[in-house]
Chain A
Amino acid sequence: MLSWIIKNQLAEVLIGRANAQSFMPTQASEIAKSVDSLYSFLLIISLIACVIVIGGMIYFAYKYRRRSANDKTAYISHDTRLEILWSVIPLVIFLFVFAWGWIIYHDMRTMPKEALEIQVIGRQWAWVAEYKNGVQSNVLVVPVKRDIRLVLSSPDVIHSFYVPSFRIKQDVVPGRYTSLWFRAEVMGEFHVFCAEFCGTSHSGMITKLRVVSQTDFDKWLIEEADSSLLPPVEYGKKLFTTKTCASCHFEDQPGVKIGPTMKGLFGLENHEMVDGTTVTADENYLRESILASQAKVVKGFGPRSAMPAFQGQLSEKELSAIIEYIKSIK
């Protein structure tokens, strides 16, 4: 009952939706709307509180400004009735706000039953979505008006999956699964941020959440699944992004230079390592660099390589496609 009143009536009557939206991102889900209603309510209450406190202060400061050095002042040590009043009123408001916040939070945390499930892996410093049919993608594509449940995991440090337009956020914690659900009401592209500090390129850990129609979604899934039939270089190019290589080996992203460029790497002789040795960058070197990055670390990027070892994370076919792609970058 309370929850119904809060959700439907109060929010509507007291606030009218517009004001919180003025600087919050697009409301792409019902949850976003209810969060904004609560937020607008808080804004109004806060405004009133500030007017009372700050306004009172300014008014008194003006009215009772010092007129002469020996002004007489009133001796008012306390007023129990007043004090009880201004303890109880805030308490009631705070508890009301608490309850309202809890109700929405409960909706956020209760996973819908028939949801489309997608695994999302947050790693330094990229997002990878894995669909049930094996498709992997850096951009999260979902159908509109359908409950989506994300199962989040991380192989390295804590990240946080955050979509401002949905008002949802969930930490991605290594060593356990966390989850999150949403239901997009509008189609479009929305930002996904990493909100928990995770190192060098934390602020580069941004991707898109694309909401499309159910038919477009099905079509996209099939197209993506077919990409392994592409010629190796093109398949490799795709993998270079989906397997997150591009988030560190990225040529034209200023500010972040985490890994060395792949340009002209293949066939390079006298390629210098941190320990002073040199190698020739042939297929086997590339293979080792990818599978066991700590084995040989390139000069200027040591002593420890920032690159995770990809042993066990790439199939033989994927690996050779990536190597073909690297060979093709001249």
Chain B
Amino acid sequence: MAHAGHDVDYIHAEKGLKSWLLTLDHKRIGILYFVTVMFFFLCGGIAALLLRGELFSYNAQANVGEILKNGDIYNQVMTYHGAIMVFMVIIPGIPAILGNFFLPLMIGAKDVAFPKLNLLSWYCLMAGAALAILTMFTGRVDTGWTFYTPYSIQTGTAVSMMVVAAFIMGMSSILTGLNFIVTVHKLRAPGMTMHRMPLFVWALYSTAIIQVLATPVLAITLLLLMMERVLGVGIFDPKLGGDPVLFQHFFWFYSHPAVYIMILPAMGIISELITTYSKKVIFGYTAIAYSSLGIAAVSFFVWGHHMYVSGQSELAGTVFSFLTMLVGVPTAIKMFNWVATMYKGSIEFRSPMLYAMGFLFLFAIGGVTGIMLATLAVDVHFHDTYFVVAHFHYVMVGGTLMAIMGGFFHWFPKMFGKMYNEAGARWSFVFIFVGFNVTFFPQFILGGMGMPRRYFDYIAAYQPLNRISTVGSWLILTGFLIGLYVIIQGLRKGAKAPPNPWGSTTLEWQTASPPIVHNFDHEPVVTAGPYEYK
């Protein structure tokens, strides 16, 4: 080798906490994100368990379910569950952990385009998160993660601080997006044309575009909210001549595309998993790649489907419903492509593949219920009920979380150079998958029966299904505990991983496990597409 430092793997290249906190290596930054996001996931998860515990019983009859003392505390826990899971887990989850780690490796680059900016993004997330957590000690927040006005202007809780926190975390998201766009355009290895990029890279690329274009709108909205709360300038508050529905338009103009920030990278992972474990070229590469871009583009024009009953005009509702139906098509295309990829493959049921199949199962249900919600008249009944809660957990948790878990087990040997216990990983899948359905399927029915969301207490008729749902949440907990155990065991005692344990064809598997500091010994030269399984 040219000089010795180069074949040391990135984990052992340097030692000490400082070497991690000041690292510019995209792989190490990925690990930093991994550790912190896991911690946030734990916080958000505990909140979820508390909420489900509270809802075990309705109060008037029995107090066994009464875990949170009153409505205010429930509302706060509900707010933290949503805000943490959205802003601190799902949005940074895939791009910042797996994206950071694998995007450069998959296109044969040494690092991302702006390593310092990359580290800064992590610090932004940390600063925002610290502030968000600090609000728990300075009055807490009870608005729900949506911050709807005028409630968010009038409530006495620490909304201002939380808004600043979300603002700073948004900054992190923008910087990551920017970095990825430039990296994809500028740092591809020789021969790595756009059409030879793995689909995970395409997904990250589309996501990055949304991050860069949509997040500033959130920032502006939050700034306006601050101006109103702190300076008393009338924008959203009717008492000051403002319009509260305007806030909803702004908010969803960001938050609907943000839904795709959360799901597109997950879809990218699924493409990787299905090809690898079917040992087969992906079906419809171009369709999948461009449908990501298509989704990214159309996603900016459908925000009003969250507002059919908000008082917006009938015409607006109609247009938004129509456009939403259009977004359904590229999503359906992807589903069919994945299933078609399995046709005549050689399918190996390793845990990442199980997660990928779990994804297809849950996302199919999440998808069709999405169409129901996009349908005007039907949504009038389902809007703001548990049907919506069930739907978005099916796509966000059933979709994104399944993909994170699958992707994580898929790339674990590459990231840490160790193998994990396959049986354990399968058990964790079984518990999470079954528990997930037990928790959230009854919520579709509850929504149909009319149970509104964000309810601290409910009428007697809703109790049996709520009980089932709460029991499901304990199964999910068990699944994640098993998963955690498998990870820790793998890290401590796992056998040494070969460079390419799954026989995958993408570039990241062509280097050592774990990769060396500069990723590749020699700059790779690409001569074919990403999935040339023969």
Q: CB of A328 within 8 A of chain B?
A: no
Task: Please tell me if the beta carbons of A101 and B378 are within 8 angstroms of each other in the complex.
Answer: yes
In the assembled complex, which residues on chain A have CB atoms less than 8 Å from the CB atom of B242? 175
Task: Please tell me if the beta carbons of B244 and A199 are within 8 angstroms of each other in the complex.
Answer: no
Question: How far is the CB of B254 from the nearest CB of chain A, in Å?
Answer: 19
Task: Please tell me if the beta carbons of B321 and A173 are within 8 angstroms of each other in the complex.
Answer: no
Question: How far is the CB of B205 from the nearest CB of chain A, in Å?
Answer: 21
Q: A39-B378, A73-B278 are in contact. Are A50 and B72 (CB under 8 A)?
A: no
Q: CB of B134 within 8 A of chain A?
A: no
Q: A60-B342, A175-B243 are in contact. Are A25 and B384 (CB under 8 A)?
A: no
Task: Please tell me if the beta carbons of B321 and A57 are within 8 angstroms of each other in the complex.
Answer: no
- B146-154, B220-228, B397-405, B512-520: which lies at the interface: B146-154
Task: Please tell me if the beta carbons of B344 and A109 are within 8 angstroms of each other in the complex.
Answer: no
Interface string of A99-140 (1 = CB under 8 A from B): 011111110110000000000000000000000000000000
Q: CB of A198 within 8 A of chain B?
A: yes
Q: CB of B7 within 8 A of chain A?
A: no
Bound form: Cα–Cα A162–B381 in Å: 8
* Number of residues on chain B facing chain A (CB within 8 A): 95
Task: Please tell me if the beta carbons of A193 and B450 are within 8 angstroms of each other in the complex.
Answer: yes
Q: CB of A227 within 8 A of chain B?
A: no
Task: Please tell me if the beta carbons of A169 and B380 are within 8 angstroms of each other in the complex.
Answer: yes
Q: A23-B449, A95-B325, A203-B455 are in contact. Are A105 and B380 (CB under 8 A)?
A: yes
Task: Please tell me if the beta carbons of B150 and A174 are within 8 angstroms of each other in the complex.
Answer: yes
Question: How far is the CB of B350 from the nearest CB of chain A, in Å?
Answer: 10
Task: Please tell me if the beta carbons of B450 and A162 are within 8 angstroms of each other in the complex.
Answer: yes
Task: Please tell me if the beta carbons of B309 and A170 are within 8 angstroms of each other in the complex.
Answer: yes
Task: State which residues 67-113 of B face A: CB under 8 Å.
Answer: 70-72, 75
Task: Please tell me if the beta carbons of B321 and A98 are within 8 angstroms of each other in the complex.
Answer: yes
Q: CB of A281 within 8 A of chain B?
A: no
Question: How far is the CB of A70 from the nearest CB of chain B, in Å?
Answer: 9
Question: How far is the CB of A298 from the nearest CB of chain B, in Å?
Answer: 16
Q: CB of A53 within 8 A of chain B?
A: yes
Q: CB of B459 within 8 A of chain A?
A: yes
Task: State which residues 230-288 of B face A: CB under 8 Å.
Answer: 238-239, 242-245, 278-287
Q: CB of B504 within 8 A of chain A?
A: no
Q: A57-B342, A202-B455 are in contact. Are A197 and B281 (CB under 8 A)?
A: no
Task: Please tell me if the beta carbons of A157 and B150 are within 8 angstroms of each other in the complex.
Answer: yes
Of A65, A83, A256, A303, which one neighbours B284 at CB under 8 angstroms?
Answer: A83
Of B150, B372, B452, which one neighbours A162 at CB under 8 angstroms?
Answer: B452
Q: CB of B500 within 8 A of chain A?
A: no
User: Which A residue sits closest to B452, measured CB to CB?
Assistant: A195
Interface string of B516-534 (1 = CB under 8 A from A): 0000000000000000011
Q: CB of A46 within 8 A of chain B?
A: yes
- B125-133, B165-173, B359-367: which lies at the interface: B359-367
- A86-94, A141-149, A216-224, A288-296: which lies at the interface: A86-94
- B26-34, B179-187, B310-318, B428-436: which lies at the interface: B310-318
Q: CB of A10 within 8 A of chain B?
A: no
User: Which B residue sits closest to A62, measured CB to CB?
Assistant: B347
Question: How far is the CB of B438 from the nearest CB of chain A, in Å?
Answer: 17
Task: Please tell me if the beta carbons of A38 and B377 are within 8 angstroms of each other in the complex.
Answer: yes
Further contacts, 6 of them, CB under 8 A, given A39-B372, A173-B238, A203-B71: A42-B368, A158-B148, A194-B452, A195-B385, A200-B142, A203-B457
The 8 A-B pairs with the shortest beta carbon distances in the complex, nearest first, are A175-B238, A164-B450, A71-B346, A104-B377, A46-B368, A105-B376, A101-B375, A203-B455
Can you give 27 A-B contacts (C-beta < 8 A)? A46-B368, A49-B368, A53-B336, A56-B339, A57-B339, A61-B347, A61-B349, A61-B357, A64-B344, A64-B345, A65-B346, A66-B346, A73-B278, A78-B284, A94-B371, A95-B322, A98-B375, A100-B377, A101-B376, A158-B150, A171-B309, A171-B310, A173-B311, A175-B239, A195-B383, A199-B151, A200-B142
* Interfacial residues, chain B to chain A (CB-CB below 8 A): 59-60, 63, 66, 70-72, 75, 142-144, 148, 150-151, 154-156, 238-239, 242-245, 278-287, 308-311, 314, 317-318, 321-322, 325-326, 328-329, 332-333, 335-336, 338-340, 342-349, 357, 360-361, 364-365, 368-369, 371-372, 374-381, 383-385, 445, 448-450, 452-459, 533-534
